[in-house]
Amino acid sequence: MEQNTTLMGLVRQTFELPEQDIRTYSPLTLAYIGDAIYDLIIRTMLVEKGNSQVNKLHQRASAMVKAVAQKEIMLVIEPLLTEEERGYYKRGRNAKSYTTAKNASIGEYRVATGFEALLGFLYLTDRMERLMELVKLGVERLQELPASAMNHAKLGTKAKAGKLQTHPQAKAEAKKDTDVMEAETTAESCTAP
């Protein structure tokens, strides 16, 4: 029996799982596994940088895996995507989700879902080198940003009487993001064969 050294290959081999047709997976299923893979990569990177208190590791990881950070990564890597990769990203971004992020606009959350779907696609098709290449480029960009830029992501929310309220400007930006995404989706469906 051939030895497999990739995580995906080892999981399939160990549990005797058949290969699946990736095209049958919903974009939210791809995002589900992509979220876990991205989190594992970030945690591994942080742990390998040196021993640290767990709460500090958690804070660092949380800052890098939140929707706002994933949106920043997508701004860097989207121009580098192949047509196939862009398709999976857009499927995830345009998927109708019944959940939302606590500290992100709807537009940021949808872009993050697309990012996670892209990573899920790359992981499940055993393209870890490509996945790592894209994550590395994005993470390098995040590390270049001043901390204030990532905190700026909370522009749209403010705590008031224990509840989060959305700032009117952030609501307008989120609606604009959503309108643009829906227009792209409509245009794509009109040109589909």
Comparing C-alpha atoms, which of 5, 181, 20 is closest to residue 110?
A: 181
Confidence of residue 67 (pLDDT cuts 50, 70, 90): very high
Q: Which of 76-80, 86-90, 133-137, 177-181 has the lowest mean pLDDT?
A: 177-181
Average pLDDT of 4-14? 87
pTM listed for this prediction: 0.76
Gyration radius (Cα) of the chain, Å: 18
pLDDT tens digits, residue range 72-125?
999 999 999 999 999 999 999 999 887 777 788 999 999 999 999 999 999 999
Domains of the chain, with CATH numbers?
A: 7-191 (1.10.1520.10)
Work out the mean pLDDT of the chain and round it to a whole number: 81
157-160/163-166 β-pairing: antiparallel
Comparing C-alpha atoms, which of 7, 33, 37 is closest to residue 22?
A: 33
Q: Report how far apart, in Å, the C-alpha atoms of 73 and of each of 23, 59, 112, 127, 138 are.
A: 25, 18, 9, 19, 4
Tokens 């399939």 locate to 12
Tokens 């989700």 locate to 97
**Catalytic sites, residue numbers:** 35
The continuous run of DSSP H or E covering 157 comes out as strand 157-160
- Would you state the pLDDT for residue 166? 37
Residue 163's SS3 state is: strand
